[in-house]
Chain A
């Protein structure tokens, strides 16, 4: 009942935004401090990389300090929006690669094309990450690191079910799922391959595997293309695979619950997600956990996976743009990228790539449409809602795909 307080707070925030714009001005505290917003992943995973960059930077620029402030994925954009209104935005910000376009299009970031040559390996940057940091031919975001999606599985469960060879095609994987289900039928709700029903990163991989895509652009207009025959074939394959392999909720997402929790509790023989899922599989399965690349419907080939990653950008309102670019140079040095690789990430350039499962999976990848309004498709849950409709049988694949496709067309064109 006290929700009106919340609504009032929302209104207050909305108003605060406006009020702040009135008083916003260009002058910043002139202290010799570079403010950097990184995601918490760096804080927990590779603080040494951050420290190395800061050390290099302060050596090159005596009298300057670097203030690294760690952010959460859930609310960092809302916080960033508030600083854009208030005029106290950071000098460097880490952005998820799907988040970049909207901000580049709105003019939130500084054009750093002229510094490109100073960044290590910039000629060999991963195509996907370089693309997500480029808009209208200008560079706004430096590739930081990437992560692909792989299958994390229990070697003991696979062996017990008589799976001697890792599946090298979708059909083989489905057959393996049937074997695993039969072997574990006594465990209630057991998933041979746990996949959340609305995990669109995974579902769209099927679409791309079958030659489809989410949307295409022609003549400056976006057109949703989930209703193409190829996309529908992919979505149908996803539906069949899900029904055969996963006992997860058909309407929930890949964070509720976390797939590795289900796995750690013995509820799944395999899970699909970022390579780092192996971190949290629980003590019981620690020694019997391994990973492989999700197979395509074409035998012997990997299924294209979503290439997640981060870019680093310099907000246009920063007073220290040149210095910020210099810090970016230090932070994405070859040594630092190698250190990131050692922690299980994919480095930002092809000449640094190794042969881990994660990196092999990245060889075949897809990325969301580079449209200004893409993030609205994500936040509007258009894809998730379509998947829920397909899996629960509320709509046929064709109906759900057609309606989602229309939606995507209108959202991407800003209607």
Chain B
């Protein structure tokens, strides 16, 4: 009897313990549930609808009927067979590499400068950077448009006054020229974020390490390469992958600066291609397919950086 009673109590104690453990174990899941729920509603469901839409013929006609027509992978097929798509991908990749490269290198240089300059200069530069960052995109585009305008542009006027150029130079004459302007605008707008972040990261570089390297006779370039850069690597990886995401899908600046009436397949970037095919031509199914393809390309482009980032995280 006693043995039996003992076993029961042992059992029930163990069960109680298990329940307590389960209860304690489920707390994190309960805590994370709202976030998962919100993300699911905000990301997973729209993504699901996007995939559904990309498999349908959904033009103005279907929009009015409120009913798409299943066409399998036809949207993807027609996009992948479109010369314009491949040219646009190539152009956008080159554009992204140029933008991200200039942003990161420029931001790094400004950050290094900020460490060296005197206090009040740093405050001035910082203030300037924050002002750039604070300027709404559309306003910035208008200012740039005003400066590079053909008819009354300030840039042309200054160049003409300095006898360096033509009063009526057409900055939109070639795709290279107009996309270069867009690049300048985007890099200009992105520099503050990168520069200030890198400046903050630079202040984390231990002074004694730099000193030790200098005492050992390392030149500044060597110190930068072997001491500063490795410490900055995680933040550089994050900034680079974020910049790739932003610049690959950039829309407002090129669309407004090139001007809707001057956009044509010869100067498309991906997001503009998406907008023209999906919204201007009211072919929503094709638009959805393009946005999914963009997702794949961006994922492929940032794969390297994200993987490295995860590795860096594991080491630490």
- Chain A residues within CB distance 8 Å of chain B: 1-4, 6-7, 10-12, 14-15, 17-19, 21, 24, 78, 81, 84-85, 87, 102-103, 105-108, 188-189, 198, 247-253, 255-257, 262, 267, 316-317, 376, 379-382, 384-385, 388, 392
Contacts and interface: CB of A to CB of B under 8 A. Distances in A.
Interface of B: 46, 49-50, 52-53, 58-61, 63-67, 137, 149-152, 167-168, 170, 172-173, 186, 189-190, 193, 242-243, 245-247, 249-253, 259, 261-266, 271, 274-276, 278-282, 284, 287-288, 291
A151 B205 CA distance: 69
A252 B66 contact: no
B261 A381 contact: yes
Contacts of A255: 261
A10 B275 contact: yes
A333 B218 CA distance: 89
A255 B262 CA distance: 12
Nearest to B56: A18
Given A7-B271, A376-B281, A385-B264, 9 more contacts: A2-B246, A3-B246, A3-B271, A4-B245, A14-B288, A250-B170, A253-B259, A255-B261, A379-B276
Contact of B173 (A3, A248, A251, A382): A251
A105 B282 CA distance: 13
Given A6-B251, A15-B49, A376 B266 contact: no
Nearest to B281: A376
Contacts of B281: 376, 379-380
A6 B252 contact: yes
Contacts of B59: 106
Given A14-B288, A85-B63, A107-B64, A382 B151 contact: no
A84 B64 contact: yes
Contact of B60 (A18, A102, A392): A102
Contacts of A106: 59-61, 63-64
A249 B168 contact: yes
B246 A381 contact: no
A76 to B, nearest CB: 14
A106 B59 CA distance: 9
Contacts of B61: 105-107
Contact of A14 (B60, B167, B278): B278
Q: Which of A1, A2, A189, A257 has most chain B Cβ within 10 Å?
A: A1
B262 A1 contact: no
A384 B262 contact: yes
A404 B283 CA distance: 22
A18 B168 CA distance: 47
A14 B266 contact: no
Contacts of A24: 66
A269 to B, nearest CB: 16
11 contacts: A1-B189, A7-B249, A10-B271, A10-B274, A14-B278, A14-B284, A15-B49, A106-B61, A249-B151, A379-B276, A384-B262
B167 A188 contact: yes
Nearest to B274: A10
A7 B261 contact: no
A66 B189 CA distance: 47
B299 to A, nearest CB: 14
Given A247-B168, A255-B261, A381-B264, A21 B63 contact: yes
Given A18-B53, A257-B152, A262-B151, A81 B60 contact: yes
A279 to B, nearest CB: 20
Contact of A103 (B58, B60, B168, B264): B60
A249 B172 contact: yes
Contacts of B64: 84, 106-108, 316-317
Contacts of B49: 15, 18-19
B50 A11 contact: yes
Contacts of B264: 380-382, 384-385
A78 B58 CA distance: 15
B263 A2 contact: no
B291 A4 contact: no
Contact of B63 (A11, A81, A198, A267): A81
Given A10-B274, A384-B264, A257 B151 contact: yes
